[in-house]
Structures are given as C-alpha cells and as structure tokens.
Amino acid sequence: MIDDKIFQLTWREKTCFVYDKSTFRLIGQFYYTGEGWGLAFDGEHLILSDGSAVLRFLDPKTFQQKRKLEVLEVTDRDAKTKKTLPVKNLNELEFIRGEIWANVWQTTKIVRIDPKTGKVIGWIDCSGFVPKEYEKEHRAPAFERNNVLNGIAFDPATNHVFITGKNWAVLYKIHIADP
C-alpha cells in the first residue's frame, strides 16, 4: 500500500491493478513484462519480482523501471575460491528495516537482500513452520510441491513479521527484536 492506494499484481497477465484503499474501487492499472511474483515498497520505489534472480525498481506513479538489481550470494563451496551465484525463484517480497526479504519459491527459506548491492545478507529457515500435512511435499520433486511458504508481511509498529504459505490454514506471527 502506498498513500491511499493498494497495488495488486497478476501472475501471468502482466497487469498491476491499483485500487483506492478506502473503497477498493479500481482507479488504475499498469502493464509490465514478465510474470508478477512479488511486489514491495521501499518508501520510494515499488520492487517487482518475476521469479528470476533480478528485482526491478519501479516508479509507483508511472510503473516505469528505474533500475534492476541481481540478487547474488557469495559462496565458498570450493574452499579455494569464492563463487558468486544468482539466487533464483525470488517470490513474495517485503521491505523490512532497510532490507528486502523474499520467499525462495518451493523452499522453506526466506532470503534477506541488501537493496543497494543485491548481495545476500542472510537466510531465514522456516522449515519449522511448515504444517505437518505438507512436510512430505517439501521432500517431493519440485513439480509436486504446491503448499509451500508463500507469504511475508511486516508491521513496523509492532516489529512483527507474518508468514504463511500457499493454501495454508495458518498464519505465523514472529517478533523481531530491536536492533
């Protein structure tokens, strides 16, 4: 939500609908390329995820792209050299205390991203939150998984993060300690 407007992405229709916050009346729409997987607001730009490793920063008034940011993780898997790997499947987004948080589709992880550099700040393992009836799906091949982690919301007034999943009947409230 920005000012008195609510923004709603469509997954494949390449359309963002804009509604009046008070009446839920449709007041505008924007078109974009690619799929709409997640949308967040950093106080200046809308941040759009299309399921790739690239986030797009958009002007909320015109929906024009202002910049792109590739999300990268530095690894030391080789021990001799550090590798930089893109973090793909960025899904639902939230801007939390100066960071971008994103569900990584079909995993139980949330990645924390530096919005200036695109580097991974850290990971949050949410496997303990998966409802028991869906646990086996997280061990199944990717095409069989549907009831996965798929929602992040932040309430800055209380420092609570809310997480849920696709088709889950539960919503978890997590308190973030003061920095």
- pLDDT of the residue at 127: 86
β-pairing verdict for 54-58 and 46-49: antiparallel
For residue range 128-168, what is the model confidence (pLDDT) as tens digits?
Answer: 888 877 666 555 554 455 678 889 999 999 999 999 988 88
Q: What is the pTM of this model?
A: 0.90
CA-to-CA distance for 130 and 74, rounded, in angstroms? 27
Quote the Cα angle for 70-153-102, to 5°. 20
Amino acid found at 103:
N
pLDDT tens-digit readout, 67-109: 999 999 987 765 667 788 999 999 999 999 999 999 999 888 9
Query: Residue 140 CA to chain centroid, in angstroms?
Result: 23
- Report domain extents, the chain: 5-175
Query: Rounded to whole angstroms, how far apart are CA atoms 32 and 54?
Result: 14
Pairing, β 160-165 against β 72-75? unpaired
Question: Which of the four CATH numbers 2.40.10.480, 3.30.300.10, 3.40.640.10, 2.60.120.10 does domain 5-175 have?
Answer: 2.40.10.480
Which residue in 83, 98, 78, 110 sits closest to 174, CA to CA?
A: 110
What is the CA 60 to chain-centroid distance, rounded? 17
Q: Which of 101, 171, 102, 168 is nearest to 138 (CA)?
A: 168
| The pLDDT value given to residue 73 | 93
